[in-house]
Each structure stands twice: as structure tokens, then as C-alpha cells.
Amino acid sequence: MCAVNINKTRPVIFAALLFAAVAAASDSPLLFATAHAADKESAFGMASGGQPGHLPPGWTVGKLPVLHYREDAARKRVWILAADGVHAYALGTRKEIGHAVLKDWIWAGDPYGCAPDLVLGPDGEALVSSDVSPTLWRVDPVTFAVTRNNLALDHDNDKDVGFSGLAYSPAQGAFFAISHFHGSLWRISPLLKSAQKIALTRPVPGACGRSAVSPAMSWSRQQPASLCVNTERGARQIRLAPDLRSGEVVAGSCMIED
């Protein structure tokens, strides 16, 4: 782990680096889980204790807590994000078909914020965020090779911007990300090189998934170009402008796409 200049104004980064150091020194995967991981969910065949079904018993009984779980029905596989990286399993057989270690992946999570997110792209690739750094890790769906992408931000370079929520828009061919700490929304460039801040009528802090299968952010079923965000203070809807450069934040629940 590289040396980083940490001062008292950045306790979250310090905590994340401590987590990373402990993980690197451990002989076995650390069992991190978000504060919401115990929620009961019925979607995706959830097992008791808030863990997804369709996985080997070691996962479903809680020995290896799942941070996030995403199903790719088209390719008959499920992806899970855990403290030791990303795993892919075949639907039905529960056979592991791939595991990717995320080099230099740091995050804070509970109790400092929310866990990083996992989202699937148009070609079946998996993207993983950090909640304390504007960095995305891309996992190839065939080789499971990992590419680290450090995003150049067009704003807020004086802040520790990370992402607790990710969503992909097929209509726009782009990924979107939201910050738990700052409540800012970002549009990611197609090549995962930069992030453009979207001007919101007000910030949406506290974005966090309620459980491993409940995303922090997803597209609304009710309105096109409208994002549903789960926050610690309830649901928020972000209605994006046609040019995707701004958005109106509206309080209240909205139907999230599966």
C-alpha cells in the first residue's frame, strides 16, 4: 500500500486505508458487511439473514457476508461483491466461474458511510466503486481481468469524492454514480476516464442500498431519465434534464427497476 498524506480533516480516508491494511495482512477474507445487510429481502431468492440465494451455503449462512449481489439473467450468472473482491457464480449450479481481486481497492463503509457499489454494464462486465475515491474497477466478463480506472472530475477536486451508488443507462450508453458523503451525482464517460458533475437542485446525501440486493440508485419505472435513490432519510427521485447536465430532486418514493 502506498504512503498517503493524511490529516485530521480526512478521517474517512484514514479508516479506509486501515481496512485495506488489515485486509492485506489477513490470511482469510475479512467479513465486512454494511449496517443494512441484515434486512430481509425476498427478491433473488434471499436466504435468512439478508444473504442472497443461488449461492453456495458458505455465503448464504453468513460466513462470507455479501456487500452487493447482482443477477445477469441473460448470461445465467450472478455477481457478488465481498471484502475479498468480486465473485461470479453460475445460476442453478452455484458453481463459481470466476473471482477477481481488486488491487488497491480501499473503502470505508459502515459505520463511516455506505459500502461501495457493484453494477453490471451492457456487455456483462462488472463495475465496482470506492466510497472514498473517484475510482472504478472494471471486471471483464470473460477473462475476469481487472482494470483500474481513475476518473478525472470536472468539479470538487478539493473533496474526497467516492461513490456508494452506480447505475447504467442503456438509453444513454453511460454509467451514473452518486456520492454518499456529498450527495452529488456524476455522469461517467463511456471509456471510464472522467466524470461530469450533474447540477442538482439540492444534494442527495446518504445514498445507500438497504441490503445486498437493494441498490442505492436505479432507474425509475415511472418516468424516463429519472433516478430513484435510497437514502438514510427516505427515497428521493432525481428527474434529469434532456441534456443530462442538471436534475431536479423530489422527495418521495418511486418504483425502482429490478
Least confident of 83-87, 144-148, 209-213: 209-213
Exposure string (b/e) for 16-38, b if CB count within 10 Å is 16 or more?
Answer: bbebeeebeeeeeeeebbbebbe
Measured from the Cβ of residue 2, the count of other Cβ atoms closer than 10 Å reads: 5
Interval 178-214: pLDDT, tens: 999 999 999 999 999 999 999 999 999 999 876 777 7
Phi, psi of 239 (to 5 degrees): -95, 110
Picking from 25, 23, 42, the residue whose alpha carbon sits closest to that of residue 83 is 23
Q: Residue 172: what residue type? A: Q
Q: What is the pLDDT of residue 29?
A: 29
Domains of the chain from N-terminus onward:
12-19+31-251 (2.130.10.10)
Residue 129: pLDDT band by 50, 70, 90 thresholds?
Answer: very high
For residues 142 and 130, what is the distance between their CA atoms, to the nearest angstrom?
Answer: 23
DSSP tag of 211: B
Q: Residue 47: what residue type? A: A
Task: Enter the pTM of the model.
Answer: 0.77
